[in-house]
Structure 1
């Protein structure tokens, strides 16, 4: 399978981001991995990318973060006029699979899947097979 051009990790836990970056590098699944510590930083990255169809093609998004959380990010993301909305796959990668959070995210109808932490090689392969 060819490498994805770009993956964006959105999580406030630096250790989680570090381990996920190591895993993605080891698996060789992406040309570039970007990291945002919260939803606002992720929006800033998307705004910097403009209408680039290649970066990111996959967002792995946590729900619970200080500042702008994952749900607030999704609400703001829906309001953006990015041409690549259709091309970006958003996966919730979280420890919070609370029914209330799942319901709120599903109402936004832009999240492709929910994956529980930690990210593993098997989970990443499943994401690639199912969505790319």
Structure 2
């Protein structure tokens, strides 16, 4: 299984890392079997799957549902799931609760967006065992 340590080693050795977006089990299985290293469950599913005009309507429940589906189709790839807008910006404790739900759904790492103002939240999550892609 691909881990953070695996990715660090690949980078250090100059190996290319393949990362694609997946939203459900069948495509996740195809990508995993093809050797894709990382699968991103992106909040872009708001536009590509749900038909919205943006990612704003995507809920944490939506992300957990799709993360669990991708996890069921994956044996080796690392799964990174987006924290959707509004579930982590209010406080680091809010971010932890949302990230813990994604991890329970099958994510190996969570992704959040923001600038330096998110550094304290990122550190808070990492100190509590949640890998973060910022």
Q: Same fold (TM over 0.5)?
A: no
Structure in which a larger fraction of residues adopt strand: 1
TM-score category of the 2 structures, normalised to the smaller one: 0.3 to 0.5
TM-score, structure 2 as length reference: 0.42
TM-score, structure 1 as length reference: 0.43
Higher Cα radius of gyration:
2
